[in-house]
Structure 1
């Protein structure tokens, strides 16, 4: 039987999932409509892919977490094939979501930052090739991760699950996790580098404005600040997400700690839904579309109230 604390955690998790689905669904819908009306855009492709992958990621996290909570024996039973399938799908979706977010960071950096470096200018002129870069990185990440995932599940099937988990020493377990997440670590490093370079670009731009005795913030400064908010929020939320995933993985060692697992799920879902609303507020097109949608909802409510009276 669930306790009051368990009930609160489940309510929060479901609320986060609904918010994440609505936020990311809105981003995907706006960009799909825009793509149907106009020509294909790089930013539209990245945002749509990011939204779809995050919706899938949210519900995969929920499904896996609830299986841990309500059916923990499934990891030791013959139904383990279901868990294996979910794990493979999660691997694809998780890495897709992270690489789409990294591509968005790179896009903002190349679009807004100002550097005279030859490599930067060469990359800036090829900004529309980011989708190709994204697909290449995703393919490499999957090729690096899948063999280790397959081996891990084969070892699990050949041995008793409990024996397999507890016989694996910490260093071996750490190495396996690093190999599984090489693509994720590399993508996060890229996002961190773009964020630092954008800060340098903003600092140089502000210094130039001061030398020119210009006291007001121009359009370029505003663009820098908006991009910085999106990038910094992504990095903070991603670190939070990564820590929560580590917490969930550690549950294999302490399966009886259900409260810790629920905390891990609650924290992990913050990343895909929280960042979506930051993107909506930070993107002028998405922000205007959300304001129009809210105005239409208010008009509908007024019409209903007038009809009722």
Structure 2
């Protein structure tokens, strides 16, 4: 039975998941509508649609697993169910981070302004960079799946053996979890580096424009300052997301602590929930498309009410 505090925190996590699904759903819907209207799918449109869908799937998986684990943990006891959930987690979580990394690199190449030869090469060979990242993702999956199966088998042994072997298994389990998340950590580091470089480029450009305008900001300067704020918020949210994942991994060793598990879940959901709305508010196309879709939904609801009456 959940305590009052656990119930409140679980409700907060569920609310974050619902808001995140709505925000990412709007992003995917706007880009799909633009794709149908223009009869072509741009690279940025594909990345945004895929990122939104992967985050929606990730939030559904996490919130469903959380409710089952807290309300009826016996449903997760069969080994094959745990293996399937582990495979889904590996595929969806790494896909979500991969698309977030691709989005960061896309904006970095399009917006940043560096004269270094590595950056110039990156702009020319951007397709190869995406193919390289895709290869890294596939390799990460190939290495992570066997380790996930081993983790499940080790957990089964862990609960039936002696306390000395439990301690030994826990140390091995930490290494296994670290190994299955190497790909995620790699993409996470690449995303942070790219975002920091993009912030530096935008900050330098805004400073140059301020000096050129004798201290007065023009419209372009405001746009760059806004982009810097968006990127910094994205970095903070991304770090919080991985902090929440680390907390939930720690909860594997203390499964009876539901409060810590739910708290980690709340931190995990902050990123997909807030970042989707930041993308919508910071992008005029997404903002206008979202408003248009919401107005159409509102009009259709009014039409249904009139038909009923």
User: TM-score, normalization: structure 1?
Assistant: 0.86
Instruction: Report what 1:229 is aligned to.
Output: 229
Q: Which residue matches 1:248?
A: 248
Task: Say whether residues 1:54 and 2:52 are aligned partners.
Answer: no
Distance in 1, Cα, partners of 2:10 & 2:196: 37
State the partner residue of 2:46.
45
Structure 1 residue 61 displacement after superposition? 0.6
**Aligned counterpart, 1:82:** 81
Q: Which moved more, 1:174-183 or 1:28-37?
A: 174-183
Please say if residues 9 and 263 of structure 2, whose CA atoms lie closer than 8 Å, have aligned partners that are also in contact: yes
Structure-2 separation of matches of 1:252 and 1:162: 16
TM-aligned CA deviation for residue 299 of structure 1: 5.3
* Alpha-carbon separation, structure 2, partners of 1:130 and 1:37: 29
Q: Which shifted more, 87-96 or 262-271?
A: 262-271
Alpha-carbon distance in 2 for matches of 1:264, 1:36: 39
Judging changes above 3 Å, is the alpha-carbon distance between structure 1 residues 292 and 215 closer, same or farther for their aligned structure 2 residues? farther
How far the C-alpha of 1:115 sits from its partner, in A, is 0.8
1:196-253 CA-to-partner distances (Å, cap 9, x unmatched) read 2122212321332244344444565445334433332222122222222222222222
Residue in structure 2 matched with residue 280 of structure 1 by the alignment = 280
Instruction: Determine the C-alpha separation between the residues in 2 that align with 1:185 and 1:228.
Output: 24
Against the structure 1 CA distance between its residues 18 and 298, is the aligned structure 2 distance closer, same or farther, given a 3 Å change threshold?
Answer: same
Which residue in the other structure is 1:138 paired with? 137
CA deviations on 1:85-108 (whole Å, 9 max, x unpaired) are: 011111100000011111111111
CA contact (8 A) 1:240 1:268 kept: yes
1:245-286 Cα shifts (integer Å, max 9, x gaps): 222222222222222222222222222222111111112210
1:107-143 per-position Cα deviation (integer Å, ceiling 9, x unaligned): 1111111111122122223445665344223212212
Alignment match, 1:64: 65
CA RMSD of aligned residues (A): 2.8
Q: CA deviation at 1:73?
A: 3.7
Residues 165-209 of structure 1 show CA distances to partners (whole Å, capped at 9, x for unaligned) of 833366544332321211111111111111221222123213322
Structure 1 pair 147–300 and aligned structure 2 pair: CA distance change class (3 A):
closer
Matching of residue 109 in structure 1 with residue 132 in structure 2: no
User: Counterpart of 1:99?
Assistant: 98
TM alignment of 1:1-309, pairs within 5 A: 1-38=1-38, 39-75=40-76, 77=77, 79-127=78-126, 131-157=130-156, 159-161=157-159, 163=161, 166-168=166-168, 171-218=171-218, 220-296=220-296
In 2: Cα distance, 1:44 partner to 1:137 partner: 22
| Aligned-residue offset at 1:162 | 5.6
Q: Deviations over 1:16-70 (max 9, x none)?
A: 2221211111111111121222222111011011001001000111122122212
* Aligned-partner Cα distance in 1 for 2:300–2:115: 52
Decide whether aligned partners of structure 1 residues 302 and 155 sit closer, same or farther in structure 2, where only a CA change above 3 A counts.
closer
SS of the aligned residue for 2:41 comes to: coil
For residues 56 and 199 of structure 1, the distance between their equivalents in structure 2, rounded to whole angstroms, comes to 30
CA distance in structure 2 between the partners assigned to 1:138 and 1:47 by the alignment:
18
Query: Structure 1: any 5+ residue segments left out of the alignment?
Result: none
Query: How far apart, in 2, do the equivalents of 1:183 and 1:7 lie?
Result: 34
SS at structure 1 position matched to 2:27: helix
Determine helix, strand or coil for the equivalent of 1:168: helix
Tell me: CA distance 1:217–1:130, structure 2 relative to 1, closer, same or farther (3 Å).
farther
Contact 1:61 1:269 in 2 (8 A): no
Structure 2, gaps ≥5 residues long:
none
